Structure 1
Amino acid sequence: MSERAAPFHCPYCGDEDLRPSEEGHGAWECAACNRAFRLKFLGLLARGLDRSDTGGDPE
């Protein structure tokens, strides 16, 4: 089993200068905009993945 994925960009400013926060699991700090945020996986959607809506042109 692999480790959990880390965010690549700050959700507020888009910068990549992120560090894990001392606040605990899933908490991150952005040095560029001086914000702290927490990521949490809520679960899978009951409806699943709708592959019929791909966003392409209808034929």
Structure 2
Amino acid sequence: MSESIRSSVIYYCPFCAEEDLRPVEEPQGAWRCNACARVFTVSLKAVDATHIPGRLREEAELQRAELEKESTS
């Protein structure tokens, strides 16, 4: 994950759903909605990789490959 605070662009205000957003200096990483005048920050705390469909398929393929490797040994 990138260390940059502005690595992701926010497209919609989480309060009024307007798109007229501008970055602000303080607090660091905040956005200002010009429609409702709110200043907010959005942060990602974690990604729950256990529920990503591609990741589940990858895990199953890895387990299958390990079982095949063990059975041929």
More strand by share: 1
Match status 1:49 vs 2:52: yes
Superposed structure 1 runs of 4+ greater than 3 Å apart: none
Structural RMSD (CA): 2.2
Q: Which structure has greater helix proportion?
A: 2
* Greater C-alpha radius of gyration: 2
Of the two structures, which has the highest relative contact order with CA contacts closer than 8 Å and spacing of 6 or more?
A: 1
Cα-to-partner distance string for 1:1-24 (whole Å, 9 max, x where unaligned): 8x7221111010111110001111
Alignment match, 1:13: 16
> With structure 1 as the length reference, what TM-score do the two structures score?
0.66
- Tell me, which stretches of 5 or more residues in structure 2 are unaligned? 55-73
Across the two proteins, how many residue pairs are aligned to each other?
A: 49
TM-score, length of structure 2 as denominator length: 0.55
